Structure 1
Amino acid sequence: MTDVERQGGRETTRARILAAALRLFGEQGFEATTMRQIADACALTERTVYRYFPFKDDLVLAEVRGLIPILRDLTAGRPREERPFTAVWRALRTLQHLHPHVMGLLVRDMGERLLDKSGPGMHRMIEEFCEGLADGLRPRLAGAAAPTVRLLALPFAPCGEAEPEAAPPPPPGPASPPDLAFRARVLASAAISPLLSALKACVELPKEERTVARVNDLLDEAYTAMGDG
């Protein structure tokens, strides 16, 4: 067997485990599902499942990671006239429509874990999410003009005295090209904050009220607040 064939077999086994886990999570909940049940559903040994996914949380993280390139492409494909936060917002809504089972799992069973950034797996996943968003935002920044803001330092004027006149601005120097990768990372980091805020608000609700529809409402409110601010 060649290395390519072995790799293909590993990927097929990994995909089988993920598919069985998500089905069982949907049917009986994350907490109630055991690794033994997942192994039985795949006709594998429990040891084999642990070799691919050492922790049960890893199964959900792997599924969420699989959505990152989809979100990247959805964000990049939004109309160019949309502002970056609006593009991310609408891309997220489309992603939820395409994969409602994943959002339901995150909200119902995994919200607390997702918001607990002390775990290295969760922290790394959020970083990857931001990187994917940055990749999706960078193309729309390439054609946007970047305004330049100059901050002028003025001498302090005691109360009751006239303010000193502002010094004339220095002559403009050669324009430096904007660092699009850096700007995209800044925007992506800010754009993910409403999503985390909406998830936090949702996991504070009783479990029976944690629905995808409720998350959508909270997302709308969070991104509207971002725009109002």
Structure 2
Amino acid sequence: MNEALAPESPPLQRDKRDTFHHGDLRRALLESAWELVEERGAAMTSLREVARRNGVAASSALHHFGDKATLLAAVAEEGFRLLTKTMVDATADVTDKKEHLRRFFRGYVQFAMTHPAIFNLMHSSLITPYSNYPRLLDTSVNTFRTTKEVMRAYLEPFGTPTRLGRDAWAFWSAAHGMASLLISFPPGERPTRVEESELVSGLLETVLLGLAEQCRRDSANQPA
């Protein structure tokens, strides 16, 4: 079963007739949709194929999701949930705040490189605006909220963080840009021979130094 879907419920169980127990079908359809997006991309994923893989009529998928965009939004929601989990897990047992933020950044890139099709879907026009899908919006906001808290912990030694939203957005933009470029330019096609780990580290150090310096300046400019 997909690791992104595992935390929400136990593995699906089929009875001897290979039919779904009550309440399991939506989740099974969602798992199949995740697999299809990873195999074929979001544009080639269909409610009909998702239903076929689960041995049910297309009307069953329509009943649970209504249309393809809603299905893809549900997959993207799971993507944001796994992204957050990946970043948080990457920082487990790390007490140094700078190293904590480094690993958080690398967790973002790791997720994108491991699930490029899901990552692309999460930021695709196929499911925007997020406001059409409240659960997806909430999950993406939670990812950003988690990023802000990690950013706060890193910046506090340099002064009072006064613009966490701006700083977290800058951090997220850097991670997203790096991940997108690494996906777009796989090894052998990049316009540089610098190792991937060095590319990530170089950007990361620049971002962290810049954020720390800006925090110092903001704090120095605060009224006494």
Please, which runs of 5 or more residues in structure 1 have no aligned partner?
1-7, 149-177
Q: Take 2:58 and 2:185, find their aligned partners in 1: how far apart are those partners? A: 34
Among 17, 25, 30, the alignment partner of 1:18 is 30
Q: Contact conserved, 1:71 with 1:133, CA < 8 A, in 2?
A: no
Greater relative contact order, per chain length (Cα 8 Å cut-off, separation 6+): 1
SS in 2 for 1:26: helix
Q: Counterpart of 1:168?
A: none
Q: Deviations over 1:101-147 (max 9, x none)?
A: xx22145xx36x71659922289354332023235556x469x5463
1:41 maps onto 2:41 in alignment: no
Q: What is the Cα deviation at residue 67 of structure 1?
A: 1.0
Q: Counterpart of 1:32?
A: 44
Please, which runs of 5 or more residues in structure 2 have no aligned partner?
1-20, 211-224
SS in 2 for 1:79: coil
Identity in percent: 15
Q: What is the Cα deviation at residue 220 of structure 1?
A: 4.4
How many residues get paired? 176
Q: Contact conserved, 1:68 with 1:132, CA < 8 A, in 2?
A: no
Q: Deviations over 1:163-195 (max 9, x none)?
A: xxxxxxxxxxxxxxx88xx74x55433321112
Among 117, 120, 125, the alignment partner of 2:129 is 120
Q: Counterpart of 1:190?
A: 170
The one-letter amino acid paired with 2:142 is: E
Q: Counterpart of 2:77?
A: 62
Matches within 5 A, 1:1-229: 9-10=22-23, 12-53=24-65, 54=67, 55=69, 56-71=71-86, 73-74=88-89, 77=92, 79-83=94-98, 85-92=101-108, 95=111, 100=114, 103-106=115-118, 110=120, 114=123, 119-121=128-130, 124=137, 126-135=140-149, 140=153, 145=157, 147=159, 183=164, 185=165, 187-202=167-182, 219-227=200-208, 229=210
Q: Take 1:130 and 1:22, find their aligned partners in 2: how far apart are those partners? A: 22
SS in 1 for 2:116: helix
Q: What is the Cα deviation at residue 39 of structure 1?
A: 0.6
Q: What is the Cα deviation at residue 40 of structure 1?
A: 0.9
Taking a change above 3 Å as real, the CA distance of residues 199 and 72 of structure 1, as seen in their structure-2 partners, is: closer
Q: Take 1:114 and 1:90, find their aligned partners in 2: how far apart are those partners? A: 19
Q: Deviations over 1:34-55 (max 9, x none)?
A: 2101011112332332343331
